[in-house]
Structure 1
Amino acid sequence: MKLNLLLASAGFVALASAITPTFAQDITLNYDKNGWEAGFEALANGASTASGIKIVPQLQTPTDRYQAFVQSSIAGGNTPPMFTWWNGKQLDSLVETGQIADLSAAWDKAIANGDFSEAEKALVSVDGVPYALPLNLARWPVLYRKDAFEKAGIAAPPQTWEEMLDAAEKLKAAGYTPFNAPNVGGWMGLIWFSELMIRTDPDAFVGLTDGSVPYNGPEVHRAFEIWVDFYERGYFTDPREQDDSRFFVNGDAAMWLIGEWAAGVVETKGLVPGEQFSAFIMPTVTPDVENSVIFEAAPIVVSKQAMEQTPELAAAVDYLMSAEAGNALGEAQGVYTGNLKAEAPNAIVAEVNAIVAAEQPRSIVRWWEAVPADLQGDLVSQMGAFMLDPTAENAEQVMNDMQTLNADYWANQ
């Protein structure tokens, strides 16, 4: 598979070609995760102290612009020293460039020290070789505001699809929009599409990522029917909102389907995890559907050139995989690195840990990481286009357009 270069602007190429990395000076840690500034500052400070080199976090949004910057930098031979990416097929595509550092030495030490296991290593490996370190290991539950549930007379999180629909109607009657659902950063369209697929047919969802299930087949039609119905019922906030947490934080929306890492973002905006908001895993549409949960593993990668020119980076990598770093990120951002010795960063992660332990749902790799890189941008743009015009007619067009792209890709493999 070739790296899908999103050269949307000649400026990205010019920037990548004009700048030569100066690794003897500051090392940039590039990321696209808006609202994670405190967490990246904490990681960069600790890694700087551990390595003796200055590591500077650098935010760039939205996600599609960030991807274009990284990919054009790689194409120009100026791979950023350290940057966040995605695992699965997205990491496979990156490794194919030959510009990403093998982190086997760091993983060997971390596993021997009991910080991680082979299972976590496998999440960031390509052909058995680890090319990244974990930034965040997260499940995707529904966050819910306790005050909204109390006002609406909802005694407990829904355990069945019928209970969830009933809760949504009660929330509407109490003056709330049931779900916060923005389409921010060029990627959020995948959230509800993925969730509705796994709540109706998780095997079909997996089939979408390997070409065995079409995007305009009956399984996808079923998910879109529910998605259209939810819009018609008024269950979603305005998708054009550019502050992804705004409606949940200000109390307009009662629930938010999102990665558990968002608990830290919400906490920095004034809501206390476990006290003012909690979490549940969305129930399946029918009882016969296998209980599942979307699983995300967000990694940090290091350029091969940076590791060769700045050997001190090895110490920074070792720090970032430590329990100390895990706790620092958890305290600053409420995000869990997956370090086995680190503490759960907040009550939401602890609650999801308990739910997963009790219910043992099937873990499914998130669509963003599972889909081939060459399809990712075009398909998620179609999902976002549906959110901006969520009619049955547009849903049909979107499904057909997605399948045209999908079929063309797999026909050339």
Structure 2
Amino acid sequence: MSSTKRLRVTALATGALLLAAGCGSGGGSGDPNHLKLYNDKGAWKPYFEQMAKLGEQRTGIGMEPVGYTDEPAYTAFIKSSFRTNVKPDLFTWTTGERLREIVELDQVAETTGIWSQGIEAGDLTEQLRQYYTIDGKQYCVPLNTAYWGMFYNKKVFEEHDLEPPETWDELMDAAAKLKAAGQVPFHQTTPTSLFSFVWFEQLLAGTDPELYDRLSKGRASYTDPGVVKVMEQWKGLIDKGYLTEPGDKADPADHFKSGDAAMVMSGTWFNTSMTQRGLDLGKDYGFFLVPNVNPDLPKRSLIFESGPLCSLKKAPSPESSEKYLKWWTSAEAQEKWANARGDVSANPKVKIADPELGEVAEKATSDENRLVLRYFEATPSPVLTEALSAFDKFLNEPGSYMEVLRTIQKANDRYWKQQKAGS
């Protein structure tokens, strides 16, 4: 059995077991004054609990977070809830094709009214609305917003007399200097294949963002010469020893704190992991937006994600769920949520307490950048599943990049042919 098939089978089996085990207490509470918020961010439980206290004070509705740490099991549970009476009041998801998939199953509650009111009140933006719009209607609200860049260990940079780079060549020069001194420049990925796409998306978006967009829409092939070149660049970084070893089970935040890796590419939400470890942005570490590989691009390609908070059409208490979603978008709620975690906010009214993080948010939202939807959200689910497994194989066997690209392209062809046949 292939690794991809094993992943699918394991996810479904785990989800089924969890669902069976939770039939008595799983899903929503059925009490309109007490909601259960299912999420795939188990490590954020303290922050959800802080929001629950504030939310109950302001809305009169209690909220209980139910967190998962295993993504396939979580996905399987949510999808299983579509077919059973065990349904969450609220749940987290992702935008892009994965959101479209469950909307087209006629499962997700529409939030067009919340978006219209939120934009009029200045709590939501037109720029963000497009990521929550499917066939002219909006679904879910922003749980969080994040911009991707490079976190760097200030102590390591100071030891090697380095400054945040302004160009890709400067970034590569810094990596070469660090490697020559016996320091691993970059942390490669998480202990699982969930983020195996990170360097692929950054290299491709920073080289040819138009090709990146076409690829996500089935209008380009993974064997396109431009994509092949990106894989060769990625292989070059691995061959030079610029990235940590694949299969390393250590948490990226621990690698970063210890100085084992000088830099880690991640979303601004990674700042939460840093604060949890007692580190301070601006003092112990910094953050810079990654320069384009292609210096001739008119704007910096900035990887962007916005995770949605959703409710089902057949939620246990639809009116209470909608009321809570509306409150979640308010400036008061978002200020609490963002500053508790040490992250930016989807609400433009929110003042970021950390001045360093506020500066990051200001730079990220400037006209110098072209927002590029993160690969995880931009890629259709069946293709993404194959790609995550394939990129994981590449990390362990860099010479297999053409085989990897052909494998992903087969899934890409299959998906888009099915879409055309069904249209």
User: TM-score, normalized by length of structure 1?
Assistant: 0.91
Q: Which amino acid aligns with 1:127?
A: D
Q: Which amino acid aligns with 1:190?
A: F
Q: Please state how far the C-alpha of 1:107 moved relative to its aligned partner.
A: 2.5
SS of match in other structure, 1:97 = coil
Cα RMSD, aligned residues only: 2.3
CA offset digits 1:218-249 (Å, max 9, x no partner)? 11111111111111111112332342322112
Q: Which amino acid aligns with 1:398?
A: V
Residue in structure 2 matching 1:301, options 305, 310, 330? 310
SS of match in other structure, 1:305 = coil
Going from structure 1 to structure 2, the CA distance change for 1:185 and 1:50 (only over 3 Å counts) comes to farther
Residue in structure 2 matching 1:313, options 291, 302, 321? 321
User: TM-score, normalized by length of structure 2?
Assistant: 0.89
Going from structure 1 to structure 2, the CA distance change for 1:11 and 1:246 (only over 3 Å counts) comes to closer
SS of match in other structure, 2:203 = helix
Residue in structure 2 matching 1:124, options 108, 132, 140? 132
CA distance in 1, matches of 2:36, 2:125: 28
Task: Identify unmatched segments of 5+ residues in structure 1.
Answer: none
SS of match in other structure, 1:296 = strand
1:204 aligned to 2:207?
no
Q: Please state how far the C-alpha of 1:348 moved relative to its aligned partner.
A: 4.7
Alignment of 1:12-411 (within 5 A): 12-13=15-16, 15-16=18-19, 18=23, 21-24=28-31, 26-154=34-162, 156-242=163-249, 243-290=251-298, 291-306=300-315, 309=317, 311-356=319-364, 360-387=368-395, 389-392=396-399, 394-411=400-417
State the percentage of identical aligned residues. 31
Q: Please state how far the C-alpha of 1:345 moved relative to its aligned partner.
A: 4.8
CA contact (8 A) 1:13 1:76 kept: no
CA offset digits 1:361-397 (Å, max 9, x no partner)? 211111111111232212212112222x1422x2121
Q: Which amino acid aligns with 1:112?
A: E
Q: Please state how far the C-alpha of 1:347 moved relative to its aligned partner.
A: 4.1
Going from structure 1 to structure 2, the CA distance change for 1:82 and 1:149 (only over 3 Å counts) comes to same
SS of match in other structure, 1:312 = helix
SS of match in other structure, 2:346 = coil
Task: Identify unmatched segments of 5+ residues in structure 2.
Answer: 1-6
CA distance in 2, matches of 1:289, 1:105: 38
CA distance in 2, matches of 1:257, 1:111: 32
CA distance in 2, matches of 1:159, 1:339: 29
Q: Please state how far the C-alpha of 1:303 moved relative to its aligned partner.
A: 1.6
Q: Which amino acid aligns with 1:99?
A: Q
Going from structure 1 to structure 2, the CA distance change for 1:178 and 1:198 (only over 3 Å counts) comes to same
CA contact (8 A) 2:150 2:263 kept: yes
CA distance in 2, matches of 1:22, 1:40: 17
